[in-house]
Amino acid sequence: MKEPQRPSFEQIYLDLAFTLAKRSTCHRLQVGTVITSTDFRKVLAIGYNGNATGLHNGCDRDEAGNCGCLHSEENAVINCDAPRFTEKMVFVTHLPCAQCAKRLINLGGVKKVYYGLDYRLKDSIEILSSVGIPCVSTPFKQNTQAV
């Protein structure tokens, strides 16, 4: 009997990031983030982009890069209560921007960042790499297999 093909943890958490992105209230780009332990057994935090809690569910402006939404990585960092020394993996629907790369660095313990889609700017790859955090493009393949 042929064993069923099991999705990798990387694929599962990237799928989850894309599912979380559907909660985004940003008009321009829906982004989701999942932070896990390095053994993939624990989800440490999640985030998606949108306005601050209690404010209207929408963008403040229509300008790309200046819509007023908190980024998904930023929300995940805010939601992550794991200590800096806890090693972490990060899964993001889109390549993080430079500022979010710096936020992930300051979170501490990030060992690798996986992303599904490119962002218009790619300077975060060099920023993360400069402190030893690999940034890995993992093309998103939605799991359509019935359960």
List active site positions. 73
Q: Which two tokens stand for residue 118?
A: 């490119």
* DSSP notation for 6-36: PPPHHHHHHHHHHHHHTT---SS---EEEEE
Angle between helices 98-107 and 72-79 (to 10 degrees): 10
Backbone φ and ψ of 133, nearest 5°: -105, 110
